[in-house]
Amino acid sequence: MTVRTRFAPSPTGYLHLGGLRSALYTYLFAKKNGGTFILRIEDTDQEREVPGAVELIYKSMRQAGLFYDEGPDVGGEYGPYIQTQRRDTYLPYAMQLVESGAAYPCFCTKEELQQRRDEATARGEQWKYDKHCLNIPKEEALRRMQSGEPFVIRQNVPTTGVASFEDAIYGHVEAPCDTLDDNVLIKQDGLPTYNFANVIDDHLMGITHVMRGTEYLSSTPKYNLLYEALGWTPPVYIHMSPVMKDSSRKLSKRYGDPSFEDLLSQGYVRDAIINFIALLGWCPDVKKYGEKEFFTMDELIEAFDLSGLSKCPAIFNTEKLLWFNHEYISRMPLDEYQKMATPWFDKVLAGKNMDYTMLSTLMHTRTEIFSKVPEMIAFLAELPEYDIDIYTHKKMKTDAAISLKALELALPALEAIEDFTEENVKAVLMDLAAKNEMKNGQIMWPVRIAISGLASTPGGATEIAYLLGKDETLRRIRLGMDKLQSNG
């Protein structure tokens, strides 16, 4: 049997992280088993569709490195892969169910349904559809359908017995039939509901394994009733535990939790996100991989196994993701770092003619997330306001008076440098300290403060001076001297 899996998102906006994990696991399972990974767009709920969301899904899948073998924009022999383009597919199967008694047309209006729902609530009962239209004679029902009277088609769930299925993670799952609702299969607009379309499409597309969140555990018994009524063999079900923001709620777009695109735009690295997401609810074989946490996509494919999936909800730990991101950034080649960092450097340094290779060397291992880079290097664009107390440093043995002396010595020495390189600046300042019997820090620290305004910077006095260039370095040292003299 050739494994065929599918990721079937609704086009309601950006790809949220729970959806990304579902797509990732589905992709990994297919590739691990030499199978086919399919993208299907489930857009039958037209009211919730967001314009442009389908294209966003394509883009997100490409950005995530989840390349599907079949899908709307790549084709395949089981297309179309967008459900609204398959709308004529579903009604014949619904009518087959009507003919067999496994479904029936319903003519209840929204107002009638709401009235009966309100009456049940008033009695303290939980309402589900009461099979009001089930006993309409078939001939009469067909006549009313053909006359243009609005109708839906509902599943006829048995009132006794149990509906059940086997799940690869949760084992045997069943529900008493009298607790299940007669779901709508075909809506008044002629489009199927998710509950019906996913069954029909999974069968027609030859899907062998359905991987989805545990929110569908309660619905799957009803799906199996449809498979049975149509005489089809259901797929293998693999329900995955949810990704939680904390112990009380799931990650959700409506609470402002980030999407995959949000994380990318914030400067997280794609591979770090994928690696982190893969470990949310799945653990590689400890005997084989030990405590290994860092995996390439190919390594994830090799390591992925259903036995590593957990039934317990996974908590999305932002600090852990940040740590992953820092590790990935620190391990990337310098030229790759510079390529990714350059747009962030440009946000504050565009037009400054600054040596980005030197800046990349200083920032490479200090960068946790690229969106923090602009604020970390903003001092290079404009000297921030600072208090003279910052010149005092016990370890460097400096205070305001020593710092003023250091700057007065450094200014003419730096002015005399013709080739203003980092090496030459360092040599001049070190020589200056030696000639004046001062510790290196007593020269370097005041210069660093004067030209950066900060106690903590990427790089020291000589690297910063080189990046700023001779003229700007001298200008800032003069400002530092003025500040120290005016407070003396």
Band of residue 255 on the pLDDT scale cut at 50, 70, 90? confident
**Residue 37 corresponds to which tokens in the numbers above?**
């990974």
Going through 23-75 in order, the beta strands assigned E by DSSP cover 36-39
Out of 240, 258, 279, a domain closes at: 240
Return the SS3 of 209: strand
Question: Exposed (0-12), middle (13-18) or buried (19+): which is 127, by Cβ within 10 Å?
Answer: middle
Could you read off the pLDDT of 88-120 as tens digits, one per residue? 999 999 999 999 999 999 999 999 999 999 998
What are φ and ψ of residue 34, in 5° steps? 65, 30
Which letter does DSSP use for residue 9 in this model? -
Is residue 369 scored above 80 in pLDDT? yes
Could you read off the pLDDT of 223-253 as tens digits, one per residue? 999 999 999 999 999 999 999 888 778 887 7
Give pTM, 2 decimals.
0.91
To which residue do tokens 């399972």 refer? Answer: 29
To which residue do tokens 């949810």 refer? Answer: 242
In this structure, is the dihedral angle defined by the CA atoms of residues 360, 366, 371 and 376, taken in order, positive or negative?
negative
- Find, among 196, 156, 155, 162, the residue nearest to 179 by Cα: 162
Taking each helix axis from N to C end, the angle separating 373-381 and 356-363, rounded to the nearest 10 degrees, works out to 130
Task: Identify whether 373 is part of a domain.
Answer: no
For residue 411, the tally of other CB atoms under 10 A from its CB is 18
Task: Identify whether 73 is part of a domain.
Answer: no
How many domains, the chain?
2
CA–CA distance, 195 with 102 (Å, rounded to integer): 14
Instruction: Give the per-residue pLDDT at 488.
Output: 60
Percentage of residues in the chain having pLDDT higher than 90: 91
Which letter does DSSP use for residue 370 in this model? G
Residue numbers of the domain that contains 95: 85-240
Catalytic residue selected from 59, 128, 250, 253: 253
Task: Identify whether 262 is part of a domain.
Answer: no
Task: Identify whether 474 is part of a domain.
Answer: yes
**79-82 long-range contacts, CB within 8 A, separation 24+:** 81/38, 81/39, 81/40, 81/41, 82/40, 82/41, 82/43, 82/54
Out of 240, 269, 300, a domain closes at: 240
Task: Identify whether 477 is part of a domain.
Answer: yes
Out of 240, 261, 293, a domain closes at: 240
From edge to edge, which strands make up the β-sheet containing 236-240? 171-176, 162-167, 236-240, 209-213
Is residue 125 scored above 90 in pLDDT? no
Return the SS3 of 22: helix
Separation of CA 398 from chain center: 48
Task: Identify whether 342 is part of a domain.
Answer: no
Could you read off the pLDDT of 148-182 as tens digits, one per residue? 999 999 999 999 999 999 999 999 999 999 999 99
The question of whether 253 is a catalytic residue gets the answer yes
Task: Identify whether 300 is part of a domain.
Answer: no
Could you read off the pLDDT of 424-456 as tens digits, one per residue? 999 999 999 999 999 999 999 999 999 999 999
| CA distances to 185, 304, 325, 436 from 290, in Å | 48, 14, 21, 57
In this structure, is the dihedral angle defined by the CA atoms of residues 399, 401, 403 and 406, taken in order, positive or negative?
negative
Are 414 and 470 in contact by the 8 Å Cβ rule? The answer is yes
Instruction: Give the per-residue pLDDT at 355.
Output: 97
Task: Identify whether 348 is part of a domain.
Answer: no
Cis peptide, bond prior to residue 458, ω within 30 of zero: no
Query: Domain containing 150 — which CATH number?
Result: 3.40.50.620
Query: Domain containing 397 — which CATH number?
Result: 1.10.10.350
To which residue do tokens 């010595």 refer? Answer: 409
Which letter does DSSP use for residue 12 in this model? S
